[in-house]
Amino acid sequence: MQVLDFTVRSNETLNDQNHLIKVAPAGNEVLPEMQPGQFVQILVDNSPHVFLRRPISINFVDKEKNEIWLLIQKVGEGTEKICAIPEGGTMNLIYPLGNSFTLPERKGKYLLVGGGVGTAPMLFLGKEMKERGIDPEFLLGGRSSKDILQRSDFERYGTLHCTTEDGSLGEKGYVTHHSVLKEKKYDYIYTCGPKPMMVAVAKYAHDHGIECEASLENLMACGFGACLCCVEKTVRGNICACTEGPVFNINQLTWLD
Amino acid sequence: MQVLDFTVRSNETLNDQNHLIKVAPAGNEVLPEMQPGQFVQILVDNSPHVFLRRPISINFVDKEKNEIWLLIQKVGEGTEKICAIPEGGTMNLIYPLGNSFTLPERKGKYLLVGGGVGTAPMLFLGKEMKERGIDPEFLLGGRSSKDILQRSDFERYGTLHCTTEDGSLGEKGYVTHHSVLKEKKYDYIYTCGPKPMMVAVAKYAHDHGIECEASLENLMACGFGACLCCVEKTVRGNICACTEGPVFNINQLTWLD
Amino acid sequence: MAGLEVHIGDLKLKNPVMTASGTFGYGTEYADFIDLGRLGGIFVKGTTLAPRQGNDYPRMAETPSGMLNAVGLQNKGVDYFVEHLYPVIKDYDTHMIVNVSGSTVEDYVACAEKLADLDKMPAIELNISCPNVKEGGMAFGTSCQSAAQVTREVRKVFPKTLIVKLSPNVTDVTEIARGVEDEGADAVSLVNTFLGMAIDVESRRPKLSTITGGLSGPCIKPIAIRMVWEVFHAVKIPIIGMGGICNWQDAIEFILAGATAVQIGTYNFIDPAASVKIIDGIHDYLERHQIASVNDLVGKMIVQ
Amino acid sequence: MAGLEVHIGDLKLKNPVMTASGTFGYGTEYADFIDLGRLGGIFVKGTTLAPRQGNDYPRMAETPSGMLNAVGLQNKGVDYFVEHLYPVIKDYDTHMIVNVSGSTVEDYVACAEKLADLDKMPAIELNISCPNVKEGGMAFGTSCQSAAQVTREVRKVFPKTLIVKLSPNVTDVTEIARGVEDEGADAVSLVNTFLGMAIDVESRRPKLSTITGGLSGPCIKPIAIRMVWEVFHAVKIPIIGMGGICNWQDAIEFILAGATAVQIGTYNFIDPAASVKIIDGIHDYLERHQIASVNDLVGKMIVQ
Ligand SMILES: Cc1cc2nc3c(=O)[nH]c(=O)nc-3n(C[C@H](O)[C@H](O)[C@H](O)COP(=O)(O)OP(=O)(O)OC[C@H]3O[C@@H](n4cnc5c(N)ncnc54)[C@H](O)[C@@H]3O)c2cc1C
Ligand SMILES: Cc1cc2nc3c(=O)[nH]c(=O)nc-3n(C[C@H](O)[C@H](O)[C@H](O)COP(=O)(O)OP(=O)(O)OC[C@H]3O[C@@H](n4cnc5c(N)ncnc54)[C@H](O)[C@@H]3O)c2cc1C
Ligand SMILES: Cc1cc2nc3c(=O)[nH]c(=O)nc-3n(C[C@H](O)[C@H](O)[C@H](O)COP(=O)(O)O)c2cc1C
Ligand SMILES: Cc1cc2nc3c(=O)[nH]c(=O)nc-3n(C[C@H](O)[C@H](O)[C@H](O)COP(=O)(O)O)c2cc1C
Ligand code: FES
Ligand code: FES
């Protein structure tokens, strides 16, 4: 873990709500090893109302360019201000934080399910799988076509399935209604997105005896294990989502009780 | 008094500390009548530490361009943020606030003494005098040549005398040591600047039986008479510097007691 | 049309948004900015029996998300108010309520008596919580006994709506609230400012002439809301909530915690039109959530 | 070289900057960010006799210039601490001080007794001011009698430096400070968090699972400084000041108000290296003002 200033190399507006921001260490320090599922804590400058840092998943690591990608949805003042940092601007990060998704040791059928901006860590995860010789499948959901972000990036690493609530892309409905879930039998499911979606995915996985890991977005104050604010109730009691998570095997969670 | 959004038409860096910012009503509303000595209260956006507005004198009113000029010295986070607003940016003002310098009814010898950024209201005052057929003299002081701002603007409206602490422009020393004060007899002195300077000027005026008005920079919360925080102790008791000031006849003040 | 009318004692307020004493002058200071007639009410500056010069300058220091003040009840006294200010403000199309302050019980009583005679003065707010005067003031509000005593004596001479303004500088605000309720207060308002302090580290001097002063603004909001919620569960009389309200969300937060009405204080300095925007915001919230009347929200925070 | 060493009871601190309980884990969480050996001391997480799961999620809400927490003393109990944590942290080149919490006097005493045996545990901080547990906690710190009682009983079993951490949720903090001084406390630390509350207006639910929680951060600084200043004039034992310290200016403000040392709390979350920057800042301030020792600043606010 370290605290470091980054320079915003680019800040791309993907749609009215989402930005893709690529950052590199301001002093050209070489990025440390990072794992899919890990996140960063962003200091929000120039905001009278944002006191704490904001946790954002590592969307992708471009080792060649020494860049971290962040996919950010504007939902409040913190994310608004982050998305307003122009190219060339500075962003102070604490990183890398948290555990990571379990990377497969063997071949198999892996499904990566993301909803909304919860697709963010799935890109990095998919890339790491591909590099290990695995062809992941992605199942991404959103309200409409414009909410399914980074499609061409995902397609580089695996097959892409989509659902949209208005049917403007892929199948109409929620991710858990997608036909692949009926047609195929997966060995492992990874998921990140709105809690109701993740609970539905966890339930599907549980009912079908599929291993499943979910990445949580609990409210965080510090992000590195010091405040005990981010706890998730698990079978082992209250556990910090920032150090022992954000990725949990659903067997550890009490969602389905 | 009104609350209005302004657009920054230009933001000129005069030296390492001072900016000249020209603003015009964002909706092209025609500026109301304003008097020299009056001020505006600027809302400071995007600052986590600045809660209250910041009072700034009206440096000049350009009626033709419908612009207000503000001369701002960066001394803390509020003024830093204001000076960082780029051309085209927005600034929310409450204005015009306060009383004003007494504009001369008859010809005479008028001296306008400004120190540091306290020269700000003197330009507007000089212009109004000139338009009334009076030739004011200016006596401006600063640490060194680069701190005597807007010289060519001042010269348009009257004779300019300067002092600098390092002697790099005009006479060396403080304004109250300038030779004109020994050589000439003025009818009226107006002053604005650091308190010790104004007190020295007031003392000079008092000792020489010259009428004198000083513009105060008391700490303000509201700027329009609602909080009673900005009071100056006067011969009539505690008086609000934001409504019955910022300009006071030195006879009203208790500085020389 | 969502219903905004609320009642505080005999007072019918057209909406629950009022402005806090000491932050809104006599209303006139804001006449350029808003239509005063839109407000539920205006609490005018703290008024004492005798005129007061207040404390020395400096009286103000900015703090994180707030400010300290040490005005110290500067005002021209109740007689001046009755003769010169009341005639100007009495015909505003809103309720004008005087905030009555004092150093002794006799002061409060004498002041309240003079105000009781005024036709268009439907209520007073007893300020037993001012941290900025040497004698009396907050001392009345931090002891249950003296809070009860001053309420009891004023109640005897003031038959109209009597609001008692509580100090937050106490271990148990419910105890004081119950005490003044028992003595016949028609409502309580809370909170007044928190006693605070700031030092200029370069000069090593206090930033206020009085060393300590009253802290207000958004910084105190979480504590103020907690106190409103505690008092809501302790008394039956209505509560007027305040402390750091800047926008309609803050106002709704106080209402959900148990406030029947709210006062906007320090934020008027930053946005003189804040109060009116908050009225509009509450109205829109009610419409959006299809709530018939703001009264249906009072204390209706959902627990479990 | 300006002198930074200060004494708290028998403790010699290499500098007056320590980190506050509950915000710094067991130090290890910050080892990546700073050299822990630079700190004057580390107050580890609130520790209780029995293990505690703490409160349910959500435990945190951001507020203007601060945050509310409702962690509720989640910890693995004193035995686990002694067996598993103490061995890891005991050799850090700084003072490790356990913050002892409890629900009954017996709990505090039993916990303190176990810690008294540890060689490298030179002091404990009695937390009689936690607002986040149902029983005990803050209740001890808001009554003079119970604060005195728990101090008295713990004093009997704990011969090393005993620091008592005071609650700010009281009418008169000096009364409590004097009470614990009389019972033999070697120092007082203040303030713990203020009881506060926040409501999500769209869902109409409290933002914390426990409804109320503890407010910390810069928002509380002016009140905390006032309390330190009051206590400085009320007791003879040293004061450890805290509440919203973010930078060296804030730390100096507390020291001028009367704190011999300070603790950095919430701001560690935002800048994990804040404490070390503050040490450097205090050092530079002393040099710039040509002050030989930080002790010369304690309580030296200039009045008049
Ligand atoms: C480990 C982790 C990884 C994350 N990764 C990403 C990411 O890659 N991209 C991204 O856009 N967002 C991500 N988030 C969520 C992001 O941190 C929040 O959206 C952000 O902190 C909101 O800040 P704000 O100031 O914009 O909104 P606020 O004004 O703080 O909040 C706006 C609204 O969002 C709600 N909210 C805020 N934070 C959360 C949260 N963590 N969970 C549920 N509701 C919340 C608030 O209650 C409020 O209703 C992640 C969160 C965590 C914990
Ligand atoms: C009527 C009036 C007119 C003014 N006109 C101008 C102007 O034309 N141009 C200009 O640059 N400034 C002017 N000022 C001063 C200006 O308002 C302050 O410099 C500004 O508010 C400081 O804000 P800040 O956040 O930058 O500094 P802060 O961080 O608030 O303060 C920085 C330092 O400056 C001191 N300080 C701040 N405000 C004042 C003050 N009013 N008096 C004395 N010390 C102060 C603080 O105590 C602190 O030490 C005027 C003030 C008043 C009352
Ligand atoms: C400058 C100032 C002056 C005040 N004067 C009074 C007063 O005269 N009487 C009173 O009861 N409260 C007074 N108050 C307290 C406010 O009415 C209000 O209770 C407090 O500021 C909290 O609300 P806020 O955070 O919205 O400002 C004053 C507050 C400020 C900031
Ligand atoms: C998340 C969190 C947990 C805390 N836990 C404890 C605790 O276990 N024991 C304790 O005495 N104080 C605890 N505190 C209070 C702090 O030690 C400190 O007194 C308070 O936060 C004020 O300082 P600050 O504003 O610098 O944070 C906690 C504070 C926070 C924010
Ligand atoms: S966010 Fe602080 S411990 Fe997880
Ligand atoms: S600044 Fe508020 S009355 Fe003058």
Q: What is the pLDDT of residues B111-163, one digit of tens each?
A: 999 999 999 999 999 999 999 999 999 999 999 999 999 999 999 999 999 99
- Selected residues 245-264 of chain D with any CB under 8 Å from a CB in chain C: 249, 252-253, 256-257
Cα distance between residue A216 and residue A220, in whole Å? 11
Q: Find, among B90, B110, B75, the residue nearest to B9 by Cα.
A: B90
Among protein residues, the one with the nearest Cα to ligand 4's atom 3 is D22
The predicted pLDDT at position B256 comes to 83
Per-residue confidence (pLDDT) for residue A257, from 0 to 100: 79
d(CA A236, CA A215): 17
* Tokens 């009203």 -> residue: B252
Element (H, E) at B24: strand B18-25
B-chain CB neighbours of A46 within 8 Å are 46-48
Domain layout of chain C by residue ranges = 6-54+73-194+215-297
Nearest residue on chain C to B239, judged by CA atoms?
Answer: C53
Where chain D has pLDDT below 50, the residues are none
Q: How far, in Å, is the centroid of ligand 1 from the Cα of A71?
A: 12
The pLDDT of B74-97, averaged and rounded, is: 96
User: Region B162-188: what's the mean pLDDT?
Assistant: 91
> pLDDT tens-digit profile of B183-214?
889 999 999 999 999 999 999 999 999 999 99
Residues 6+ apart with CB under 8 A from C37: C92, C93, C94
The set of protein residues with a Cβ atom below 6 angstroms from ligand 3 is B 227, 229; C 20-23, 45-46, 69, 71, 73, 99, 127, 130, 165, 192-193, 216-217, 220, 242-245, 264-266
Ligand 4 pocket test: pick from D240, D266, D270 the residue with the most ligand atoms within 8 Å of its Cβ: D266
Query: Max CA-CA distance within chain D?
Result: 57
Residue C17 pLDDT greater than 80, yes or no: yes
D64 contacts in chain A (CB < 8 Å): 48-49, 51
Cβ neighbours of D53 in A, within 8 Å = 237-238
Radius of gyration of chain C (CA): 18
- Starting from the CA of residue D163, give the closest ligand: 4
Q: What is the pLDDT of residue C135?
A: 62
Q: Is C234 annotated as a binding residue?
A: no
> Residue B84: what pLDDT?
94
Q: Does A218 touch chain B (CB under 8 A)?
A: no
Catalytic residue among D111, D130, D219, D246: D130
B85 touches chain A (CB under 8 A): no
- B53 and C269: CB-CB below 8 Å? yes
Confidence at residue C293, expressed as pLDDT on a 0 to 100 scale: 97
- Is the CB of residue A47 less than 8 Å away from at least one CB of chain B? yes
pLDDT band at C134 (very low <50, low <70, confident <90, very high): low
Assess whether the C-beta atom of A94 lies below 6 angstroms from ligand 5. no
Architecture of domain C6-54+73-194+215-297: Alpha-Beta Barrel (3.20)
Q: Whose CA is nearest to atom 7 of ligand 2?
A: B56
Provide, as residue numbers in chain B, all residues whose Cβ is less than 8 Å from the Cβ of A45: 48
Nearest residue (CA) to ligand 4, atom 12: D21
Predicted TM-score (pTM) of the model is 0.96
Q: Indicate the pLDDT class of residue C133, thresholds 50, 70 and 90.
A: low
Nearest CA to ligand 4 atom 8: D46
Cβ distance of A238 and D25 shorter than 8 Å: no
In the predicted model, what is the mean pLDDT of chain C?
94
B-chain residues within 8 Å CB-CB of A47?
A: 46, 48
Instruction: Give the closest residue (by CA) to ligand 3 atom 22.
Output: C243
What's residue D133's pLDDT?
Answer: 65
- Contact list in B for residue C32 (CB cut-off 8 A) is 1-2
In this complex, which of C171, C199, C223 lies closest to D256 when CB atoms are compared? C199
Name the phi and psi angles at D173, rounded to 5: -75, -25
**A243 C-alpha to ligand 5 centroid (Å):** 7
The pair of structure tokens assigned to C89 is 């403000």
Three-state SS string over chain A comes to CEEEEEEEEEEEECCCCEEEEEEEECCCCCCCCCCCCCEEEECCCCCCCCCCCEEEECCEEECCCCEEEEEEECCCHHHHHHHCCCCCCEEEEEEEECCCCCCCCCCCCEEEEEEHHHHHHHHHHHHHHHHCCCCCEEEEEECCHHHCCCHHHHHHHCEEEEEECCCCCCEECCHHHCCHHHHCCCCEEEEECCHHHHHHHHHHHHHCCCEEEEECCCCCCCCCCCCCCCEEEECCEEEECCCCCCEEEHHHECCCC
Facing C194 at nearest CB: one of D171, D223, D257 = D223
Q: Candidates 3.30.470.10, 3.40.50.300, 3.50.30.60, 2.40.30.10; correct CATH number of A2-97?
A: 2.40.30.10
Residues 97-136 of B with CB under 8 A from C: none
Token reading at D176: 């409590």
C59 and B1 within 8 Å at the Cβ level: the answer is no
Residue C137 has a pLDDT of 66
Closest alpha carbon within chain C to B227: C23
For C158, the enclosing helix (H) or strand (E) is none
Q: What angle do CA C242, C247, C251 make, to 5 degrees?
A: 40
Average pLDDT, stretch C109-135? Answer: 88
CATH number for the region B110-252 comes to: 3.40.50.80
Minimum CA distance residue for ligand 3 atom 2? C22
Query: Which SS3 state, helix, strand or coil, does residue C42 take?
Result: strand
Residue owning tokens 């109730």: A233
For residue A63, give the amino acid letter. K
Cα of B54 vs centre of ligand 2, distance in Å, is 7
d(CA C28, CA C30): 5
Cis peptide before C58 (omega within 30 of 0): yes
Of the bound ligands, which one is closest to the alpha carbon of residue D198? 1
Pair A213, A99: CB distance under 8 Å:
no
Known binding site for FMN: residues of D?
21, 45-46, 99, 127, 165, 191, 217, 243-244, 265-266
Question: Which residues 127-166 of D are in CB contact (within 8 Å) with C?
Answer: 142
Structure tokens at B50: 């600045």
Min distance B52 CA to chain A CA atoms (Å): 12
Q: Is D130 a catalytic residue?
A: yes
CB contact under 8 A, C218 and D64: yes
Inform me whether the pLDDT recorded for C1 exceeds 70. Answer: no
As a whole-number percent, the residues of chain C with pLDDT over 90 amount to 92
Inter-chain CB proximity A233 and D57 less than 8 Å: yes
The ligand that comes nearest to the alpha carbon of residue C67 is 3
Q: Which of A44, A46, A51, A52 to mutate to probe the B interface, most B CBs <10 Å?
A: A46
Cβ-nearest to A1 among D32, D218, D270: D32
In the numeric block, the tokens 């001890």 are attached to D140
Domain ranges of chain B: 2-97, 110-252
Q: Which of A3, A52, A232 sits opposite D272 (nearest CB)?
A: A3
**From the CB of B30, is ligand 2 less than 6 Å away?**
no
| ipTM higher than the 0.90 cut | yes
Report CA(C265)–ligand 3 centroid distance (Å): 6
pLDDT of B134: 92
Question: In a structure prediction context, what are the per-residue pLDDT tens digits for chain A, which is 257 residues long?
Answer: 999 999 999 999 999 999 999 999 999 999 999 999 999 999 998 787 899 999 999 999 999 999 999 999 999 999 999 999 999 999 999 999 999 999 988 888 999 999 999 999 999 999 999 999 999 999 999 999 999 999 999 999 999 999 999 999 999 999 999 888 888 899 999 999 999 999 999 999 999 999 999 999 999 999 999 999 999 999 999 999 999 999 999 999 999 87
Q: What is the DSSP string of chain D?
A: --B--EEETTEEESSSEEE-TTSSTTSGGGTTTS-GGGSSEEEEEEE-SS-B--PPSP-EEEETTEEEE-----B-HHHHIIIIIHHHHTTSSSEEEEEE--SSHHHHHHHHHHHHT-TT--EEEEE---TTSSSSTHHHHTSHHHHHHHHHHHHHH--SEEEEEPPS-SS-HHHHHHHHHHTT-SEEEE--PEEEE-EETTTTEESSTTSEEEEESGGGHHHHHHHHHHHHTT-SS-EEE-SS--SHHHHHHHHHHT-SEEEE-THHHH-TTHHHHHHHHHHHHHHHTT-SBGGGGTT-----
